[in-house]
Amino acid sequence: MRQTIPQSIVIVGGGFAGTSLARALSTRRLHGLQLTLISDESYTTFHPMLPEAVGASVFPEQVVAPVREMLDFRRGDRFIMGRVSAVDTQAHTLRCDTLAGERELRYDQLVLAFGNRARLDLIPGMALHALPLKTVGDALHIRNVVLRRLARIELESDTELRRAMGHFAVIGGGFSGVEVAGELVDCLASIRRFYPRVLDGELRITLLHDQDRLLPEMSPPLALAALRSLRRRGVDVRLGTRAQAIHERGVALDDGQELAAQTVISTIGTRPNSLATLLGVVTERGRVVAESDLSVPGHRDVWALGDCAMVPNAFDGQPSPATAQFAVRQARHLADNLLAACRGEPTRPFSARPRGTMAALGRRNGVAEVFGVGFSGLPAWLLWRAFYLSQMPTLRRKLRVWVEWTWGMFFPADITHLRFTRSAELPANERGVGV
């Protein structure tokens, strides 16, 4: 007998893929369906925009969106802020650690959309001395480190130490690495005038990439355009160069050279979420292996999408790229497959023609390829921002972010150093204790 009234769909993960799925389901909702989204954060992070938060081109609140704004509570949607600690796929139940203690939930369909975590063991010394970029907190921390380095240089008299503190090394020449390098070089050029005691030549950006060209996901002409743009603005791009070890003084390269750089930013390496290990699902390069219809093999009524999933694309037989474009399209496809599965109908394989790729290279600068047509500069950057603006929930939020982004285009990067120090963390003589 076919199930005509679905009972419960539980989405684990409030990132781009999970919230896009929730929004897709809201437009084709069946009567009686209950949707629950579980996430340990109350917001979705637009991860491709984190480099712009590093370079202070945008404020942190402009690269996040509240999860609750993307759910339809009038239809009975539910948001639980917590972390899934156990799943029983036979009983169709899961346990979740929440703000109010452990709770047990039942599901009919379970969707894994929890993203990946930064991997910090790829290079010796990476965990201790490199700064990963995976979260808004990472972006704010890197930004604060950059500002502290400049403030420290102004007070330092040792010439070699000043140069080491002003040297920023970025590891990885993919999207994140290229975007961070471009944002940093533009940010430093923009705020340099506020640090008059920092001398010319004391601020440098080095980008290390172990392949023969940047942005392997893009066409060679656009990768070359990105390389030329970075080098023209002063970034020292070293292709075919691998970091052998990272230490407190900088980076040891595989050719025996040493880079004296006190700030090392890592944009490489991901590892599976611990829930993937808990479920015992097969992973490949840190991603859950899924079938062509986005179901997880060997686990009844379990699905996966987005960055956490290795989903084959029937269009070309290749794994779908871990990009926002494919996360959105997978979400729309999975919404149809979930409802078909609830009704007892067959599901369809995911097939999507790539529409193109985009990368931001700094302030008002980017590269893009749309349906085989490549272009760069301001038009590419505007298209890149327009796409992410279109993914913001609610017209009110879109309008607010658009006004703030437009305003910020005409002014230098912000140099505010946000420490978030609580009163109880101040020295005793400054908070009125023992005085």
Q: Tell me the pTM.
A: 0.87
- pLDDT single digits (tens) 164-180: 999 999 999 999 999 99
Q: What are phi and psi of 29, to 5 degrees?
A: -65, 135
**Three-state secondary structure string covering the chain:** CCCCCCCEEEEECCCHHHHHHHHHHHCCCCCCCEEEEEECCCEEECHHHHHHHHCCCCCHHHHEEEHHHHCCHHHCCEEEEEEEEEEECCCCEEEEEECCEEEEEECCEEEECCCCEECCCCCCCHHHHEEECCCHHHHHHHHHHHHHHHHHHHHCCCHHHHHHHCEEEEECCCHHHHHHHHHHHHHHHHHHHHCCCCCCCCCEEEEEECCCCCCCCCCHHHHHHHHHHHHHCCCEEEECCCEEEEECCEEEECCCCEEECCEEEECCCEECCHHHHHHCCCEECCEEECCCCCECCCCCCEEECHHHEECECCCCCCECCCCHHHHHHHHHHHHHHHHHHHCCCCCCCCCCCCCEEEEEEECCEEEEEECCEEEECHHHHHHHHHHHHHCCCCHHHHHHHHHHHHHHCCCCCCCCCCCCCCHHHCCHHHCCCCC
pLDDT of residue 291: 95
In this predicted structure, which of 24-33, 124-133, 145-154, 202-211 has the lowest mean pLDDT? 24-33
Residue 416 pLDDT greater than 80, yes or no: no
**The pLDDT of residue 435:** 42
Of 234, 246, 258, 13, which is closest to residue 128 (Cα–Cα)?
246
Domain ranges, ordered by start, for the chain: 8-116+272-356, 126-269
CA 332 to chain centre: 20
pLDDT range class, residue 429, cuts 50, 70, 90: low
What pLDDT digit, counting tens, does each position of 44-70 carry? 888 888 998 898 888 888 888 899 988
Is pLDDT above 60 for 433? no
The confidence score (pLDDT) of residue 421 equals 60
* Domains 8-116+272-356 and 126-269 fall in the same CATH topology: yes
Share above pLDDT 70 across residues of the chain, in percent, rounded to a whole number: 94
CATH of domain 126-269: 3.50.50.60
- CA-nearest of 30, 13, 116, 53 to 344 is 30
The answer to whether residue 31 scores a pLDDT higher than 80 is: no
Reading the block at residue 227, the tokens are 């390389």
pLDDT tens digits, 220-263: 999 999 999 999 999 999 999 999 999 988 999 998 899 999 99
- Tell me the per-residue pLDDT of 292-313, one tens digit each, with 9 for 90 and over: 999 999 888 999 999 889 999 9
Contact 212, 391 (CB under 8 A): no
Domain 8-116+272-356 CATH (choose: 3.30.70.890, 3.50.50.100, 3.40.50.2300, 1.10.3080.10): 3.50.50.100
**pLDDT level of residue 423 (50, 70, 90 thresholds):** low
pLDDT for position 398: 86
Please provide the average confidence, as pLDDT, over all residues in the chain. Answer: 88
Of 30 and 248, which is predicted with more confidence?
248
pLDDT greater than 80 at residue 28: no
